[in-house]
Amino acid sequence: MRCKWSDISKYRGELFGIAIISVIILHYLGTLHSGETNRILYMFARFYNGAVGSVGVDIFVFLSGYGIFYSLSKRETLRKFYQKRFQRVLFPYLVLGLFFWTIKDLIILKEPFSEFLYDYSLLSFWGSGVQSFWYIAFICLMYMLSPIFFRLTEERRKAAVGFLVLCGIDVICFLVSPHYFDKIEIALQRLPTYLLGMYCGKLSQSAEDEQEISNKMMIFLILSVPVKIAVGLMNHPLARLFNGYYAVFIIAAYVMIRNKMAGSQNSLFKVLSAIGAYSLEIYVIHIAVRNLMGTLQFDLRNPLIYLLHLAIVIPLVRCFVMLQKVRLFKE
């Protein structure tokens, strides 16, 4: 069944829900090692890492770029654009990050206040590769660069050149400074995926005959599956560059399935959409709780401990969402 690039916007919430669930699952399975856990569970972890891996993050990045194109196409002032974007991302982080870094740096690790400021400002990711909240540091940078990327999407040639330049930045950084590349590659290799998301946002607003995902494009996306497997087996440091390619395949496949099921009542879709609506809050709180439990030497490989972590995360997310609603109501 054919689908259009514009169909992605219909299921964007569900896709965000799938993405955050896959990230939470990956964070648990990534703690498992051979000989330290049930063999069947370990084999499933290896399969999941090969078939899915961290592609949930790339779905996040792609969808963020896709949505940002829509925002910029409204031609609102840059001041208003930045205000909306940073309020959406920075408010959750500034509140929750303050508690997290205070507890971790100042109370548990007893670090100097300068280290607390270094971490809380997110400069520690770009400077030292501290990855606790790397996604927040990354997406804020993407928001700042979005007006430039928006201009690149005006023409296919510009977008292609921009995509190749971003890939080239990864390769150059890897060749020139592999040590620094290792610290920030988790973000650096996702620069092209964000631009790709913005360009697909552009396609979704093109003329009717250009909106459809063609059969040739679907074949090209299907080929991302063997590419993902091959790249995963090589385990090359630049392997994440291909994750965006695979993420678009998963998104397109899901959209086609959902179009086929359009009109059917399924509570699972509603749950995924509800989770997707608060995926950012879930991500920040999940990372904070998981990291603190790890710092306190909880064995997160134990499924019961990991379930305990989720039992803490869920009510915290609910409380924080209610806090945000009260704040918005007052404004």
As a whole number, mean pLDDT of residues 37-63 equals 87
pLDDT tens per residue, range 52-97:
889 999 999 999 999 999 999 988 788 888 888 888 888 889 999 9
| Residue 53 backbone class (left: φ over 0; alpha: ψ -120 to 50; beta: rest) | left
pLDDT tens per residue, range 109-131:
999 999 999 999 999 999 999 99
pLDDT value at position 30?
Answer: 85
Number of domains in the chain: 1
Residues 6+ apart with CB under 8 A from 120: 97, 98, 101
As a whole number, mean pLDDT of residues 241-267 equals 87
As a whole number, mean pLDDT of residues 261-283 equals 86
User: What pTM value is reported for the model?
Assistant: 0.92
pLDDT tens per residue, range 132-142:
999 999 999 99
Residues of the chain with pLDDT > 70, as a percent, come to 93
At residue 275, does pLDDT exceed 90? yes
At residue 329, does pLDDT exceed 70? no
Mean pLDDT rounded to a whole number for the chain: 89
State the pLDDT confidence band at 281, using cuts at 50, 70 and 90: very high
Least confident segment among 44-48, 170-174, 243-247, 272-276: 44-48
Asked if 284 and 96 count as a contact pair (C-beta separation under 8 A), the reply is: yes
State the pLDDT confidence band at 262, using cuts at 50, 70 and 90: confident
pLDDT value at position 212?
Answer: 75
State the pLDDT confidence band at 264, using cuts at 50, 70 and 90: low
As a whole number, mean pLDDT of residues 231-236 equals 80
Residues of the chain with pLDDT > 90, as a percent, come to 61
pLDDT value at position 36?
Answer: 62
**What token pair was written down for 156?**
């296919």
At residue 265, does pLDDT exceed 70? no
> Which residues span the domain enclosing 32?
5-330
pLDDT tens per residue, range 3-23:
788 899 999 999 999 999 999
pLDDT value at position 37?
Answer: 64
